[in-house]
């Protein structure tokens, strides 16, 4: 169902960040048990960080406040359908429910073409726009083997 009040806060953060020159018109809140535990807006241009999308900044804020790397008992409200990077972060954070305002089509209409990345993901590596090539797998495997044998690892 979702809460209109939480979505309005995400939209307010989008507008505030955009008007304040922090980045694009995107905002997000993370809610746990009816309380906002993380807020974020796009800060890509103000921080020179291409990963500083609203959802990522809100996830970082919520995880810091709750002192956890999993938000499995939270909901995420975002002013726009998440891009592939943010969607991946949402999955990694284990957030089970996402509510969004604008669609990725709406974002494309104003110059944010996340759909290009969505189209790239299912392509075989050799057909993607970015060259992705294996290198030194045998050497890299040793670290994975040590991780596999590590008795005190924290799984995530």
The widest CA-to-CA distance across the chain, in whole angstroms, is 52
Provide the CA 29 distance to its chain's centre, in angstroms. 12
Indicate if 55 belongs to the active site: yes
Give all strands (DSSP E) within the chain, no chain letters. 27-32, 35-41, 74-80, 97-102
CB 29 within 8 Å of CB 38: yes
- DSSP alpha helices (H): ranges in 53-114? 54-66, 84-93, 104-109
Angle at the Cα of 147 from the Cα atoms of 149 and 94, rounded to 5 degrees: 120
Tokens of 103: 């669609």
The residue annotated as part of the active site, out of 9, 16, 35, 55, is: 55
Which positions are annotated as active-site residues? 55
């Amino acid at each position: 169902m979702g809460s209109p009040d939480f979505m309005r806060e995400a939209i307010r953060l989008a507008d505030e960040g955009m008007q304040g020159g922090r980045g694009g018109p995107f905002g997000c809140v993370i809610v746990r048990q009816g309380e906002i535990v993380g807020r974020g807006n796009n800060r890509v241009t103000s921080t020179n960080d291409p990963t500083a999308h609203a959802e990522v900044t809100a996830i970082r804020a919520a995880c810091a406040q709750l002192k956890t790397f999993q938000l499995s008992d939270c909901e995420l409200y975002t002013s726009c359908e998440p891009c592939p990077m943010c969607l991946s972060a949402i999955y990694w954070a284990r957030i089970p429910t996402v509510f969004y305002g604008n669609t990725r089509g709406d974002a494309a209409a104003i110059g944010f073409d996340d759909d290009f990345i969505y189209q790239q993901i299912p392509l075989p590596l050799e057909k993607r726009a970015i060259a992705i090539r294996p290198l030194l797998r045998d050497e890299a495997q040793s670290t994975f083997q040590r991780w596999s044998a590590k008795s005190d690892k924290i799984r995530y």
